[in-house]
Amino acid sequence: MPRNRAITLLSVGHACVDVYQGAVAALVPFFVAERAYSYAAVSGIVLAASVLSSVAQPVFGVLTDRWAMPWLLPLSTVLGGVGIALSGVSGSYGLTLAFVAVSGVGVAAYHPESARVARLASGGSHSAMGWFSLGGNLGFATAPLMVSAVVATGGLRLTPLLAVPALVGSVLCLPVLRELERRRSRGSSTAAVGRDDKASFVKLSLAVVCRSIVFIGLSTFVSLYAQQRMDGSGAAGTAALFVLYIGGAVGSVLGGSLAGRWDRVTVSRWSYLVSVASVAGVVFVPGPALYVFVALTSVALYVPFSLQVTLGQDYLPTRVGTASGITLGLTVSIGGLASPLIGRVADATSLRTALAPLILMPALSWLLFRSLPEPAVPQPREAAHRKDDDSDAALAPARPGDH
């Protein structure tokens, strides 16, 4: 199977999973309107999708470093869809939390193994991993449109229709898994050599946590905030959430392009600096200009996204699954833990007051990236042996343009 075809299938499958992460925030206005949930209550729903995912993703990452579990891809995709599909069926708040949590576990199980499979299918290409990440961003962007199209027409009782992408995604990954199994049976080696840089990985993880807090905070409340700013228009809220998500697709492609000219750390650092100004614009600039700053924020926050995934894998070359579980999962999910606090502040004061502290988060990410090195890119083990057992040469760092 050509590499481009394999990555395309995995990217579309990634979109079919991450649509359920975006669906949680997209369902928030409907829970408020149909069930009269408070800001704190809907924040708890976002928390339910995040907390189990936060705990589970590193566990799945460790497991995939020990054993290959490709069957997780179709199973976790279906699980993520079923949880969201059932979230609107019962009017019980407890059952809604439980179903959303089930979806979060499915998403948690998917990401570490899918990142490992994508790395194998791509041959370690950073640009290919960028396209894989793009699929997830498109899934996020599609979520508010999909949820609005389904739920706005018939209410929350129609959420079972939201299971369709899960069924599609579970089928699309199967040809890639069969191809990788054929490679394994032929004895093809894709293992990499390199040394773990744990200190840099910790700094990277903290930077991703800060990014996650601001992005999930905005994705949870930007729809309601736009409705307030645009005189209560539900369409205005859906449009703001769509802009926030679609900007991620633009940012991912732009990030891969910029990393071909400059190194990944430099590109990420400047992107976070731009994010400080753009988030401030979202919170404080009045009128329709809100959409401009939402778009700029989304692009700036997503330029480093796929770069951080490959950075994490290169900082921990001997534990790619663990690195993927943390950078794609744990650090992203942890952002949901801040949502209840934002909701409580919003209930006590206003949404603008609650969202203002988010301006500090990309500034902290920028500070952390200032001390990060561009890591050496691990080479396949078989390539290292061809260098006359010269281990120093085998671990030589790649030039920035080489990714």
Q: Taking all residues of the chain, what is their mean pLDDT, rounded to a whole number?
A: 78
Residues 6+ apart with CB under 8 A from 196: 315, 316, 317, 318, 319
Please give the Cα distance from 231 to 226 (Å, whole number): 9
pLDDT band at 368 (very low <50, low <70, confident <90, very high): very high
Q: Residue 38 — φ and ψ, nearest 5°?
A: -80, 170
The pLDDT assigned to 273 comes to 92
User: Is the model's pLDDT at 395 over the cut of 70?
Assistant: no
Query: For the chain, what is the radius of gyration of the CA atoms?
Result: 20
User: Is the model's pLDDT at 332 over the cut of 70?
Assistant: no
Please give the Cα distance from 19 to 107 (Å, whole number): 10
- Arithmetic mean of pLDDT, 313-321: 79
- List the alpha helices (DSSP H) in 260-358: 264-284, 289-302, 305-315, 320-324, 331-334, 339-348, 351-355
Alpha-carbon torsion 358, 25, 104, 302, what sign? negative
User: Is the model's pLDDT at 148 over the cut of 80?
Assistant: yes
Sequence ranges of the domains in the chain: 3-178+190-402
- The mean-pLDDT minimum among 157-166, 232-241, 266-275, 279-288 falls in 232-241
Q: What is the pLDDT of residues 73-90, one digit of tens each?
A: 888 899 988 888 888 887
Q: What is the pLDDT of residues 249-274, one digit of tens each?
A: 788 778 777 877 788 888 888 999 99
The pLDDT assigned to 331 comes to 66
Q: Kindly report whether the global pTM for this prediction surpasses the value 0.85.
A: no
Q: CATH number of the domain at 3-178+190-402, out of 3.90.199.10, 3.40.50.970, 3.40.630.30, 1.20.1250.20?
A: 1.20.1250.20
Angle at 146 between CA 99 and CA 53, to 5 degrees: 35
The pLDDT assigned to 364 comes to 92
Q: What is the pLDDT of residues 189-202, one digit of tens each?
A: 555 556 878 888 98
The pLDDT assigned to 193 comes to 56
- Arithmetic mean of pLDDT, 136-157: 81
Please give the Cα distance from 55 to 234 (Å, whole number): 34
